Amino acid sequence: MSRAWEVFARQSYEEPLHHVGAVREDDEELALVSARSIYDEQPWIEMIIVPRDEVREAISA
């Protein structure tokens, strides 16, 4: 079963990370490869992936 990974990136270290999309892959290595190949439209200096089930809500209504 594939896992959902949220993808965040930035073009300069002065910028905050921006959510650029998501990928679905079975493991972390495949998710990294997918994220780099799918979201390569910008000259990112940093890109990270986070398992969707590891994301925590900071503020709740």
Q: Which domains does the chain have, with CATH numbers?
A: 3-54 (3.10.20)
Cα Rg for the chain, rounded, in angstroms? 12
Q: Which pLDDT value is given to residue 45?
A: 97
Model pLDDT, residue 61: 83
CB-based contact 3:29 (threshold 8 Å): no
Q: Which residues of the chain have pLDDT under 50?
A: none
Show the tokens assigned to 23.
């990928």
pTM (whole model) above 0.75: yes
pLDDT score of 23:
98
